[in-house]
Chain A
Amino acid sequence: MKEQLEEIRRRALDELTDGASDQQIEAVRVRVLGRSGELTEVMRGMREVPQAERPAIGQLVNQIKRELEERIEALKLRLRQGALERSLAEARLDVTLPGARVPRGRIHPVTQILERMLDIFVSMGFEVAMTRDVEDDFHNFEALNFPPDHPAREMQDTFLVGGGLLLRSHTSNGQIRVMEERKPPLAVVCPGRCYRRDELSVRASPMFTQIEGFMVDRVGRITMGHLKGVLIEFLRAFYGPETGVRFRSSYFPFTEPSAEVDIHCLLCKGAGCRVCKHTGWTEILGCGMIHPNVLRAVKLDPEEFQGFAFGFGVERPALLKLGVDDMRLFFENDLRFLAQFPSLAGGAA
C-alpha cells in the first residue's frame, strides 16, 4: 500500500515537470486528486489495511495530496506569470498612431479678439451693454449731431429697412440708448454688429463688429486727459506694453474735440514700411469729448455733465494682430483658416 502510494507520488511528480502545460497539469490533478482519482481509490481500499497502519497511511495520503496540490499551484502560478510576460512582450501598440478623435471646437477669431478687448475694458471698470441693430434715424444720426445732409445718411452708405428704420452704421447708438435709460456716472462699452453698404472685399464688409465706449460724469471729472489715459491703457493692454500711441486732431459730428488714435505700425514698429505707407503709424480708433449737442439729445445739461466716447472696428485690429490681410476670411468660415485658432480663452488674443 505504501509502495503503491509512493508510486502514485513519483509518477505524478515526474509528470509535473517545470515545463508541464496547463492541460498536462490538469490531467494529473484529475487523475490523482479528482473525485474518483488515484488517491481516492487508495482511501477506499483503506479497510483492507490493518487497523494499526491506517493512521500512517492516512497521514501519507494527506501528505502526498498537500505536496501535489502545492506543486500544482506553483506550476499554475508559473504558467500565469509566463503568459503575462508573453502578453507584455507581444501586445505592444504603435503608440505613435493617432488617438481616437475626441471632438473639440474652435472659437471664431473675431469672437476671441472681441472677448479679449471686452475683458480689458471690464477689468478697467466698464460695464458691457448691447443694443439694437435695427435703429431709427434719431439714435443712429440725429442725436449724435449728424447734420441732416451728412453723407453717411445717404442711401448709398446706410442700409434702410423702411418705416424710418435703418441698420445701424456704428455702435454709437449705444451711447444714446444707454444714456436715455440711465444717468451718469457711466462707464460703458457697447459691442455689436454694424452695417454699411460696402461689398464684401479684402478691405470691407457690409457687416462688421464695433465697440463703442464712453464715460460720463459731472463736469471736470472726466477730461480729455482721462480719455487719453484710458485709451493708452487699453491699447497697451491689447497690443503690448511697448506700443507707441499717437493722438491726432480729427472731426466727428458727435465729439468735440475729436481725435484719431494711431498706434505704431505692428509690422515695422514705427520705422515706416509699405503697409503703413511709410508713416510708421496705423489708424486704430476715433474718439473725443462727447459733443454738447449729444448730451442735450439725451437731456443732460452740458454745463453739468461731460464725458468722452470712442469707437473702433474689431475686424481690422484682428487682421493686424493675426497678420493676415483679407476681411473675407472672417465671413467665409473656411475650416482650414478657423482650425488654426486655439479654442482656449485668450488663445488668439
Chain B
Amino acid sequence: MKVPLKWLEEFVSVDATVEQIARRLTVAGLEVENLERVRASFSGVVVARVLDVGKHPNADRLSLCQVDAGAAGRFSVVCGAPNVSRGMTAALATVGAKLGDEPELEAAVIRGIRSEGMLCSERELGLSQDHHGILSLPDDAPLGTPVADYLGLDDVVLDIAILANRGDALSILGVARDVAALFGVRLHAPRTRPLRVERHEGDGASSSFAVRMAAPEQCPRYAALKMTGVRVAPSPVWMRRRLELCGMRGLNNVVDATNYVMLEMGQPLHAFDLDRIAANTIVVRRAGSDREFVTLDNARRALEAGDLVIADPEKPLALAGVMGGLNSEVGLSTQTILLESAYFEPIAVAKTARRLGLRSEASYRFERGIDRAGQTAALMRVAELLKRYADARPEGAIADFEPRPAPVREIALDLNRMSALLGVETSAAEAKRRLVSLGASVRRGEARGTLKVIPPSWRSDLDEAADLAEEVARLSGLEEIPATLPARVFSYAPANREREFFRDTREVMLGAGFTEIDTLAFISAADNEKFAGIGHGEPLSVHNPLSEELREMRRSLAPGLLAALIFNLNRQATALHAFEIAKVFARVKGEVVERYHLGALSYGDYALSEIGRPGVKAGFFTLKGVAEAYLRALGVAERVRFKAPAPEHPLAFLHPGRSALILLSEEPIGYVGEFHPQDAMERGLAEQCTLCELDLQKLISYGLSPRPAIEPPPRFPAVRRDLALVLDREFPADMILKTIREIAPALLESVEVFDVYEGEAIAPGRKSVALALRYRATDRTLTDEEVNRTHAGLVEQARTRLGAELRQ
C-alpha cells in the first residue's frame, strides 16, 4: 500500500518527521518498506491567468497572450495550444524555468514577437503524456503560486506492507487512523455533505432503479446511487497525480473518482453506465448457467456456477468485487451512471479472483476484508467528487440494501487475564484509551476489572480477548513489555534419541573421512525407480511438482550422493567421500512411511597417500570397512552379516558380484556395493564408485539398547596358531569362520581371516584362506603341548566339515 504523505496529512497531523512516523508504524505492524521521495520534474512554473488572447501577427496557428501571474508579474507570451482561452488558469513557465532535462528557459523571439515565458502542457510538466493543449488549472488556484506547490508534487510516499489481517489499513484513512492512535492525536475523517439514504432489508427499488439481492450469503450489503448529467472528461491533474503515486493510472473523471475514494477510504466502488443496464435493474446473484463474460480489460473469462456476479435481468455486468464488464463500461458518451458500493464476502471474491488469476485493487481489498459498514459514506464522498469534477447530480437517495446485517460483536476483556498474557500490567483507563483510539466503543463490564468492547466495523479481525490484548500491546509498543525469563524450574528434559544417534553417526563418518552433504528430497520418477532403496514401499509422488526432475520423494539417498559426485567431478574434483543423514519416503500399503537413512559414497583416492607412496583407493572393502566400523561403534556388529544378493534379486544399480546386502538379525537394513559398471560408464566415472546405505530407523533401537557386561582385560597370554585351508573359490569366508566357531573348543578365543591367495601352487578354481586362531585360558597360561593338541583337533574337524585341504 502506497501512502503519499501529503494525502495522509489531510487526515492526521503529527508533530514528527516522516522517518519517525515510518519507524512507529513499522514497529506497530504496518511495516514501512520504503520511503520514496518524489519531486516535480520542473521549477520556475507558476499559476497564471490568461487575461487576453490575441492573434500572433505573423503566424496563423500561434496566439499572443497576456497573462497575470500575481506577485510574479504580468507577461506577454506566445502560445501554440488550441485550447488557450481568455480567463483560463494555466501553468506559466517563466524565464529561467527548468522543465525536465531541457536547458533553462530563455526569453525568445518567436516569428518576430518576444515571448516572456511559456504556457505548459501536462507532458511538458512531466505530469502525463497529454500534449493536446496546455494544462488547465482550477479557477481558484492562487496566482503566482509555484505549480509544484499548488499540485503538491514534492512528496514522500510510504510503501507499507499490509498484513493479511489488516484489510482496514488498505486505505489512506486506515493508515491515518493507526497514526492517530499511535501518536495520540485526532483523526480528521473526510467531511462530506450527507445524502439521503433509503434502507431496504431485502430486494427493493428506488424511484429510478431496482436491486434484487439473490445471494445474501456472498453479498450481505449493496448500496447504489444514480447520478445524471455526467460529463466524462479527464480528471483534475492533482487527482491523477495521487492515483499515480499510489500505483494506479488515470482514465477519466468518473473512474478516477471511484478509485480515488477506494484509495482514500478503502471501499471499492464501481460505476456502471446505467443506460446500458436492462430494465434499470441490478441482480446480485451467482453466475449459475452463465458460461463466460468479457471483463473491462477486454478478456473473455470463463465463469463457474458459484461465481458471484452483478447482472441485469439479461446478462452479467461485473464479476462482483473483481472487475467490471465491457458491456456497461463508462465511456465518453455516458450520461447517467449507477455507482455501486457493496460488501462482498472475502472468500467469494478470493475464489473467483484466484481462479481467474485476476487480482485487482478492488479484489485485493475485498479479500482482506473491507469496512463492513462503510458503503454509504463512500458513496457520499464519490458523489461529491463527481459533482465537482464531472458535473454529475445525484438522482434520488442512496439505496442501501442489507438483507443480512452484520452480527454485533461484543468482546469481554478481563484486564487481569490480559496482564497474565502480556506479562505487563495495563490499567483499565489505558486499555480503554487505546481501544477507543482505534474506533472501538468501550464500557465497563459487570465484573470488576473487565471491559466490554465493541470493535469498530472496519476491524473484522478482532474476535476475542487475545485480539484486543494484541491491539493494546501494539499501540503501547511491544518495547513496553519487559523481557523476563520464566520462573518455573524445568524438570530434566530427556535428550532426544534421534538427535543423539545422528550426532554419533556423524562422528563415526567424520572420523572415517566422510564429508556431510545435504540434498533435496525430490528426485525424478526414473531415478526413484532405479534406486528403489532397501525395499520398503511404492514411490511417493508429488501432485504439483516444480518439475519432472523433482516429481517424487526419494526412496534412497544414492541418487543425491551420485548427483553431488557428478557436480564435484565437473568442477575438477578427483575424489569424494560423502555421507548424508536424511529422510526417505515411500507408501507402504497406502500409508506414507518416512524413515531416516544413512547414505555414503566413496570415490577416488581414499587414505594414507604420501609423497612417493600411493595411498588406498576407495572400493568395496574400504567402504565395507567404514560400515563395519560404524556398526561396531553402535555395538551391533555381532548381529550383522553381509550377504551377496541372490543372483535373481540383484540391487539393480550395483555390480552384481561386488555388492552385499547388510542384514541385522537376518533382516535387511542396507547394502554396500560398487556402482554398476554400466551406469558408471554412462556417467563417465573414471574410478571405482562405491555406495552404502543403512536404514537408521532400525538401528536406532539397537544402537541404544543396553550394552553387554564389561569384562576386565584377560590376565593370561594368548597363543596364536595359523591355518591355511584350500577350498573352492566361491566358498564364502564367513561360512569358514562360522564353521570354525561352531566346532570351537572352549580355548579358542577368536578366529580371523588374514589372507586369501589364488595362483601358483593352488589348483585353478580354488583358493587358499589363511586364518589366525588365538587360544587362551582364563585361569592359566596355556602350554605349547596343550595348544598343539587342541589346534590339531580343530584343524582336523574343520578340514572334514568344510571339505578343505590343508595347505602346508
Q: Nearest chain B CB to A333's CB is how many angstroms away?
A: 4
CB contact under 8 A between A224 and B513, given known A102-B607, A256-B466: no
Give which listed residue, A97, A187, A251, A289, contacts B163 with CB less than 8 A.
A251
Q: Mark B504-537, 1 if CB is under 8 A from A, else 0.
A: 0010011111111111111000000000000000
CB contact under 8 A between A257 and B473, given known A105-B577, A128-B499, A134-B594: yes
CB contact under 8 A between A257 and B470, given known A162-B543, A223-B422: yes
Q: Nearest chain A CB to B254's CB is how many angstroms away?
A: 32
Which of A33-41, A54-62, A212-220 lies on the face that meets chain B?
A212-220
Q: Nearest chain B CB to A152's CB is how many angstroms away?
A: 10
Task: Tell whether B315 is near chain A: CB-to-CB under 8 Å.
Answer: no
A161 touches B542 (CB 8 A): yes
A160 touches B510 (CB 8 A): no
CB contact under 8 A between A160 and B423, given known A226-B486, A229-B483, A250-B163: no
| B550 closest partner in A (C-beta) | A206
Q: Nearest chain A CB to B36's CB is how many angstroms away?
A: 12
CB contact under 8 A between A206 and B520, given known A103-B577, A134-B592, A334-B568: yes
A335 touches B518 (CB 8 A): no
Give the residues from 375 to 421 in chain B that come closer than 8 angstroms, CB to CB, to chain A: 417, 420-421
A residues less than 8 Å from B495 (CB atoms)? 122, 127-128
Task: Tell whether B166 is near chain A: CB-to-CB under 8 Å.
Answer: yes
Task: Tell whether A241 is near chain B: CB-to-CB under 8 Å.
Answer: no
Task: Tell whether A89 is near chain B: CB-to-CB under 8 Å.
Answer: no
Which of A42-50, A78-86, A192-200 lies on the face that meets chain B?
A192-200
Task: Tell whether A343 is near chain B: CB-to-CB under 8 Å.
Answer: yes
In Å, the complex CA distance between A260 and B494 comes to 30
B residues less than 8 Å from A311 (CB atoms)? none
CB contact under 8 A between A224 and B473, given known A134-B592, A334-B571: yes
CB contact under 8 A between A105 and B423, given known A133-B594, A160-B543: no
Task: Tell whether A155 is near chain B: CB-to-CB under 8 Å.
Answer: yes
Q: Nearest chain B CB to A341's CB is how many angstroms away?
A: 9
Query: Would you call the interface of chain B mostly helix, strand, loop, or mixed?
Result: mixed
Q: Nearest chain A CB to B327's CB is how many angstroms away?
A: 29
CB contact under 8 A between A100 and B517, given known A225-B481, A250-B163: no
CB contact under 8 A between A185 and B488, given known A223-B421, A335-B568: yes
In Å, the complex CA distance between A248 and B473 comes to 10
Task: Tell whether B27 is near chain A: CB-to-CB under 8 Å.
Answer: yes
Give which listed residue, B351, B494, B585, contacts A133 with CB less than 8 A.
B585
Q: Nearest chain B CB to A25's CB is how many angstroms away?
A: 37
Q: Nearest chain A CB to B286's CB is how many angstroms away?
A: 17
Task: Tell whether B128 is near chain A: CB-to-CB under 8 Å.
Answer: no
Q: Nearest chain B CB to A173's CB is how many angstroms away?
A: 13
B481 touches A228 (CB 8 A): yes
Task: Tell whether A292 is near chain B: CB-to-CB under 8 Å.
Answer: yes
A161 touches B509 (CB 8 A): no
Task: Tell whether B567 is near chain A: CB-to-CB under 8 Å.
Answer: yes
Q: Nearest chain A CB to B623's CB is how many angstroms away?
A: 12
Task: Tell whether A118 is near chain B: CB-to-CB under 8 Å.
Answer: yes
A248 touches B29 (CB 8 A): yes
Give which listed residue, B33, B163, B509, contacts A277 with CB less than 8 A.
B33
CB contact under 8 A between A128 and B516, given known A101-B610, A251-B165: no
CB contact under 8 A between A339 and B488, given known A224-B481, A257-B474: no
In Å, the complex CA distance between A138 and B463 comes to 22
In Å, the complex CA distance between A289 and B545 comes to 34
B164 touches A230 (CB 8 A): no
A residues less than 8 Å from B482 (CB atoms)? 225, 228
Q: Mark B283-321, 1 if CB is under 8 A from A, else 0.
A: 000000000000000000000000000000000000000
B residues less than 8 Å from A334 (CB atoms)? 567-568, 571
A221 touches B163 (CB 8 A): no
Q: Mark B14-52, 1 if CB is under 8 A from A, else 0.
A: 000000000000111101011000000000000000000
In Å, the complex CA distance between A66 and B226 comes to 142
Task: Tell whether A306 is near chain B: CB-to-CB under 8 Å.
Answer: yes
A residues less than 8 Å from B486 (CB atoms)? 215, 217, 221-222, 226, 229-230
B506 touches A107 (CB 8 A): yes
B546 touches A199 (CB 8 A): yes
B residues less than 8 Å from A291 (CB atoms)? 466
| B517 closest partner in A (C-beta) | A333
B485 touches A333 (CB 8 A): no
B499 touches A130 (CB 8 A): yes
A residues less than 8 Å from B483 (CB atoms)? 225, 228-229, 232
A159 touches B485 (CB 8 A): no
Q: Nearest chain A CB to B348's CB is how many angstroms away?
A: 10
Give the residues from 88 to 141 in chain A that come closer than 8 angstroms, CB to CB, to chain B: 97-108, 110-111, 115, 118, 122, 125-130, 132-134
Give which listed residue, A127, A132, A258, A332, contacts B470 with CB less than 8 A.
A258
In Å, the complex CA distance between A304 and B802 comes to 74
Task: Tell whether A338 is near chain B: CB-to-CB under 8 Å.
Answer: yes
A333 touches B578 (CB 8 A): yes
CB contact under 8 A between A98 and B611, given known A149-B350, A217-B488, A246-B27: yes
A249 touches B28 (CB 8 A): yes
B346 touches A149 (CB 8 A): yes
B residues less than 8 Å from A268 (CB atoms)? none
In Å, the complex CA distance between A102 and B510 comes to 12
Q: Mark A315-349, 1 if CB is under 8 A from B, else 0.
A: 00000000000000011111110110001000000
In Å, the complex CA distance between A108 and B517 comes to 6
Give which listed residue, A110, A165, A225, contacts B424 with CB less than 8 A.
A225
B28 touches A161 (CB 8 A): no
In Å, the complex CA distance between A163 and B747 comes to 61
A193 touches B583 (CB 8 A): yes
Task: Tell whether B467 is near chain A: CB-to-CB under 8 Å.
Answer: yes
Contact surface of B with A, Cβ cutoff 8 Å? 26-29, 31, 33-34, 163-166, 346-347, 350-351, 354, 417, 420-424, 464, 466-467, 469-470, 473-474, 478-479, 481-488, 490, 493-496, 498-499, 503, 506, 509-522, 540-546, 550, 553, 564, 567-568, 571, 573, 576-579, 582-583, 585, 590, 592, 594, 605-611, 613, 615
Shortest Cβ-Cβ A-B pairs, 5 listed: A103-B513, A225-B423, A223-B423, A249-B29, A257-B470
Q: A161-B540, A306-B421, A334-B567 are known; give 19 further A-B pairs, CB within 8 A.
A: A101-B609, A101-B610, A102-B607, A106-B516, A130-B499, A134-B553, A154-B354, A159-B542, A161-B592, A162-B543, A193-B582, A207-B522, A226-B423, A249-B478, A250-B163, A277-B33, A333-B564, A338-B517, A339-B515
22 pairs of residues in contact across A and B, judged by CB atoms under 8 Å: A101-B607, A106-B515, A107-B510, A110-B518, A111-B516, A130-B499, A149-B346, A159-B545, A161-B553, A161-B592, A193-B582, A220-B420, A222-B486, A224-B423, A224-B473, A225-B483, A248-B29, A289-B421, A291-B466, A292-B464, A332-B564, A335-B568
